[in-house]
């Protein structure tokens, strides 16, 4: 599509491949294979002379519609869709690493991302150093000539720490290292990592791209050369492809992504402001508020604060559990980015595997609640949150 159309328009039309029936809504091409009109045509598909589809592990028309649509939104030359967010993270890292390479990662990572970097990579001879994401001096000290890539999330889960994407990209590029960023919390609507200097962006599409808690999915975006020459062979031969049905759900999710993200972020900002001085809440973290420790950076690299708010309920774990159990509208779960608002107690669920010291280093206290703000009316949510807080 032409670049002068706004993201909202492109998210409705980009990437459409219509069949001979000219269907309005995109078709689900639920097929693993493709019949060739002749033996010569089959041969041409395999040499790449004919760019058509070969096998759904390599590509499928519905999956390709999703890939083209999100690549257009992200401003990426190419995208490859995966079966889950973790398949995307795994492929984005493993497809470009070799034994002897060095990786620098921020300490505050989604649990399974941490497992890949901390436990899996060293098994294959990749050495890893962790840094505090916000501290640029630590990045400068850790990145060395053998560093092949750096990896981080911004904002991070669950304490919403930011990494200065442009500054870390400068340091990494100084030694020829690539920057891989997990952009799930910011969403493609509020942060554009490629424009800030990142080389590869990964998403768990399970979160805001689906946005209604239905399917697992993921996507990796980057340059045409990276996606075609490094990522695609890895994905083709290891089998983490997205299913056509999932791709259709995600494709339709993209049509409403700007509207949902805007509404959810607006509610999150309102809730953060309304609860910041609540007597039953200690620390409240939201990148869109001036009291966020990195507010200036948030204003520079994000266009809104996102839809996640984190806060400490007074009374430690007992206070947090009392609050959670008193909620009537907000659901207790570990997912995020759903239309339904979700409250999580990271210390006993998503981050229970960590030691108490590791949790303390990440700011994950026993009273910490991560709130993923959904599509409900913000006043209804606030009433529920305030009533639950009053029981603490
Ligand atoms: C959920 C999540 C993932 C993993 O995605 P799945 O789709 O669950 O595999 C990775 N990174 C972040 C930041 C996430 O929130």
The residue whose CB lies within 8 Å of the most ligand 1 atoms, and thus the one to mutate among 81, 82, 83, 85, is 85
CA of 147 relative to ligand 1 center, distance in Å: 25
246 lines ligand 1 (CB under 6 A): no
Question: Tens digits of per-residue pLDDT, 109-135?
Answer: 999 999 999 999 999 999 999 999 999
CA of 183 relative to ligand 1 center, distance in Å: 10
pLDDT above 90 for 2: no
Q: Do domains 7-253 and 258-389 have the same CATH topology?
A: no
Structural domain boundaries of the chain? Answer: 7-253, 258-389
CA of 109 relative to ligand 1 center, distance in Å: 10
267 lines ligand 1 (CB under 6 A): no
Give CA–CA dist 103/379, Å, rounded: 45
DSSP state of 362: T
Supply the pLDDT for residue 291.
96
Q: How far is CA 98 from the centre of its chain?
A: 25
* Nearest ligand 1 atom, CA 87: 9
Supply the pLDDT for residue 333.
97
Q: Is the CATH number of domain 258-389 3.90.1150.10?
A: yes
CA of 114 relative to ligand 1 center, distance in Å: 11
Question: Tens digits of per-residue pLDDT, 67-119?
Answer: 999 999 999 999 999 999 999 999 999 999 999 999 999 999 999 999 999 99
Supply the pLDDT for residue 265.
98
In which element (H, E) is residue 268 found?
helix 244-275
Whose CA is closest to 178, among 118, 97, 122? 97
Question: Tens digits of per-residue pLDDT, 247-286?
Answer: 999 999 999 999 999 999 999 999 999 999 999 999 999 9
Closest C-alpha residue for ligand 1 atom 8? 85
Supply the pLDDT for residue 4.
84
pLDDT above 70 for 40: yes
SS3 label, residue 139: helix
Supply the pLDDT for residue 302.
98
Q: Using 50, 70 and 90 to split pLDDT, how confident is the model at 240?
A: very high
How is residue 377 written in tokens? 């009316």
CATH class of 7-253: alpha beta
184 lines ligand 1 (CB under 6 A): yes
Question: Tens digits of per-residue pLDDT, 147-205?
Answer: 999 999 999 999 999 999 999 999 999 999 999 999 999 999 999 999 999 999 999 99
């Amino acid at each position: 599509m032409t670049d002068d159309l706004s993201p909202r328009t492109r998210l409705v039309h980009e990437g459409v491949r219509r069949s001979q029936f000219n269907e309005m809504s995109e078709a689900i091409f639920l097929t693993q294979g493709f019949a060739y009109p002749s033996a010569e045509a089959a041969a041409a598909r395999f040499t790449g002379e004919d760019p058509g589809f070969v096998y759904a592990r390599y590509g499928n028309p519905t999956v390709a519609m999703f890939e083209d649509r999100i690549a257009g939104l992200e401003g990426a030359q190419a995208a490859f869709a995966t079966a889950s967010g973790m398949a995307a993270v795994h492929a984005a890292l493993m497809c470009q690493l070799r034994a002897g390479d060095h990786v620098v990662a921020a300490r505050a990572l989604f649990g399974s991302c941490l497992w890949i970097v901390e436990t899996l990579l060293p098994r294959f001879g990749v050495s890893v150093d962790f840094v505090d994401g916000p501290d640029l001096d630590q990045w400068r000290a850790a990145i060395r000539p053998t560093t092949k890539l750096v990896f981080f999330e911004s904002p991070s889960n669950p304490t919403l720490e930011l990494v200065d994407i442009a500054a870390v990209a400068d340091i990494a590029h100084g030694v020829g290292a690539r920057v891989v960023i997990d952009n799930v919390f910011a969403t493609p609507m509020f942060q554009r990592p490629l424009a800030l200097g990142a080389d590869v962006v990964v998403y768990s599409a399970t979160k805001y791209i689906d946005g209604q808690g239905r399917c697992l999915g993921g996507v990796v975006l980057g340059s045409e050369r990276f996606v075609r020459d490094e990522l695609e062979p890895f994905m083709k031969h290891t089998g983490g492809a997205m299913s056509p049905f999932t791709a259709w759900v995600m494709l339709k999710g993209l049509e409403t992504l700007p509207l949902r993200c805007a509404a959810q972020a607006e509610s999150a900002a309102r809730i953060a402001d309304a609860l910041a001085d609540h007597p039953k809440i200690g620390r409240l973290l939201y990148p869109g508020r001036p009291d966020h420790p990195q507010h200036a950076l948030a204003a520079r690299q994000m266009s809104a604060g996102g839809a996640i708010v984190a806060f400490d309920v007074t009374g430690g774990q007992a206070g947090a559990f009392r609050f959670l159990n008193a909620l009537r509208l907000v659901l207790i779960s570990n997912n995020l980015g759903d239309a339904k608002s979700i409250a999580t107690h990271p210390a006993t669920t998503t981050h229970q595997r960590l030691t108490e010291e590791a949790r303390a280093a990440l700011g994950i206290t026993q009273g910490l609640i991560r709130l993923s703000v959904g599509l409900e009316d913000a006043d209804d949510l606030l009433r529920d949150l305030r009533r639950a807080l009053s029981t603490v």
